[in-house]
């Protein structure tokens, strides 16, 4: 068994240089004959700055068996990016490793409950809204001194949690998680994805090189459970699904849209779209309640003072039909009334 394992890793080492760097993480096929250890219990470090995504810790496999890759806060590679964590699945009598990836939605990860928003189905730790990420403080630990874009909803957490009291780290097989991918999760699996960033790969390689991260050395209780600080940022172009016009970067567009909650502190009547809460948008009032500042209305409806009346000693109180009187008799009989009557016709329509 030991000779076979050594030969397998030698063959893998020979093949790795032939795999392009951008596909090496997703292209390596890892199959193990025994299950990974249980998931350790740990406390999520505080998110120190906005738009960081939590990538939960997981068991990977190296030359000396399973080793723990610490959880870490990672800058999203593009606005709207969500992380689908890796998982182990029992297939064909062996445990197969499925790498994590970035995408506009959270896809299938075996139903493994990693916690901190990854409760087994989709992601309930937050959502993108208005170019920034909103954190659900019901399951995510953030520094509220620097992060104010938060909300709290425990209902959506309960609806999408797969109970995992035994902390099982794999799907299917003897004693594994029993959750087949839904139609929605399958569709998200087929979207265009971005592999783990180079800094995530370096993070995993550092854990692989640490002898104490292996379950053989720590008896399945690694000491270095989480990264002390966020990983470095690496920007990528967003796939088409996450660009404007698609649903990937809109409020409420996590991997479980059918279970989106109604946030009572933000939702206003008539201000939702397909059941999604409309965040940071002004309330829409009915037309009859809006102030009528329509400049296209007739001038007779605007109560302006009569400008011509202010320019004469007597107010023009006579009705408009007097304009049609002959001008000659009025010029001799009432010389003091002549001025307003002669000018009432040209000024009347423009002064009102």
Torsion of CA 192, 196, 197, 201, to 10 degrees: -160
With H, G, I as helix, E, B as strand and everything else as coil, classify residue 276: strand
* Per-residue pLDDT, 345: 41
Query: Which of 187, 188, 168 shows the shortest CA–CA distance to 176?
Result: 168
CB count, 10 Å around CB of 159?
Answer: 15
Task: Give the model's pLDDT for residue 350.
Answer: 40
Q: What is the pLDDT of residue 239?
A: 79
Tell me, letter by letter, the H, E, C secondary structure of 52-69. Answer: EEEECCEEEEECCEEEEE
pLDDT tens digits for 11-38? 444 443 333 333 334 456 799 999 999 9
Q: Which residues of the chain are modeled with pLDDT < 70?
A: 1-28, 241-352
Strand partners, 72: 55
Which pTM was predicted? 0.64
Is the Cα dihedral 258, 264, 267, 268 positive or negative? positive
DSSP 207: H
10 Å CB burial of residue 130 (0-12, 13-18, 19+) is middle
Closest CA to 262 of 278, 246, 248, 249: 278
Dump the DSSP string for 160-189: TBPP-TT---EESSTT-B--PPPHHHHHHH
Summarised one tens digit per residue, pLDDT across range 77-129 is: 999 999 999 999 999 999 999 999 999 999 999 999 999 999 999 999 999 99
State the Cα–Cα distance between residues 57 and 55, nearest whole angstrom: 7
Tokens of 342: 């002669």
pLDDT confidence of residue 244: 54
The predicted structure's pLDDT at residue 276: 36
Q: What angle do CA 144, 149, 155 make, to 5 degrees?
A: 95
Query: How does DSSP assign 79-136, residue by residue?
Result: TT-EEE--EEEEETTEEEEE--EEESS----TT---BTTBSBSS--SEEEETTEEEEE
Angle, alpha carbons 303-308-310 (nearest 5°)? 90
The contacts of residue 244 (CB under 8 Å, 6+ apart) are: none
Distance, first Cα to last Cα, the chain: 100
């Amino acid at each position: 068994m030991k000779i076979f394992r050594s030969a397998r890793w030698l063959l893998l080492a020979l093949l790795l240089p032939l795999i392009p760097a951008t596909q090496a993480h997703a292209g390596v096929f890892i199959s193990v004959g025994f299950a990974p250890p249980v998931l350790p219990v740990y406390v999520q470090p505080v998110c120190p700055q906005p738009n960081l995504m939590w990538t939960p810790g997981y068991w990977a496999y190296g030359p000396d068996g399973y080793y723990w890759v610490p959880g870490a806060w990672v800058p999203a590679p593009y606005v709207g990016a969500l992380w689908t964590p890796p998982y182990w699945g029992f297939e064909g009598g062996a445990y197969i490793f499925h790498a994590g990836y970035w995408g506009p939605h959270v896809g299938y990860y075996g139903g493994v409950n990693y916690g901190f928003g990854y409760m087994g189905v989709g992601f309930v730790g937050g959502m993108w809204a208005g170019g920034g990420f909103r954190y659900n403080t019901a399951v995510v630990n953030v520094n509220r001194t620097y992060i104010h874009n938060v909300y709290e909803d425990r209902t959506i957490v309960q609806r999408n949690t797969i109970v995992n009291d035994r902390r099982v780290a794999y799907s299917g097989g003897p004693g594994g998680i029993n959750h087949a991918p839904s139609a929605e999760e399958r569709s998200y699996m087929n979207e265009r994805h971005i592999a783990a960033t180079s800094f995530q790969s370096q993070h995993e390689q550092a854990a692989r090189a640490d002898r104490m991260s292996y379950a053989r050395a720590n008896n399945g209780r690694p000491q270095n459970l989480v990264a002390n600080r966020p990983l470095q940022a690496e920007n990528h172009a967003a796939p088409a699904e996450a660009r404007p016009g698609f649903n990937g970067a809109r409020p409420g567009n996590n991997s479980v849209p059918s279970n989106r909650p109604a946030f009572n502190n933000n939702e206003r009547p008539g201000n939702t779209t397909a059941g999604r809460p409309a965040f940071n948008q002004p309330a829409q009032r009915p037309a009859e309640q809006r102030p009528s500042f329509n400049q296209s209305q007739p001038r007779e409806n605007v109560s302006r003072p009569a400008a011509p009346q202010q320019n004469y000693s007597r107010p023009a109180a006579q009705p408009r039909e007097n304009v049609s009187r002959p001008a000659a008799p009025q010029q001799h009989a009432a010389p003091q009334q002549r001025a307003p009557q002669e000018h009432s016709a040209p000024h009347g329509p423009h002064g009102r």
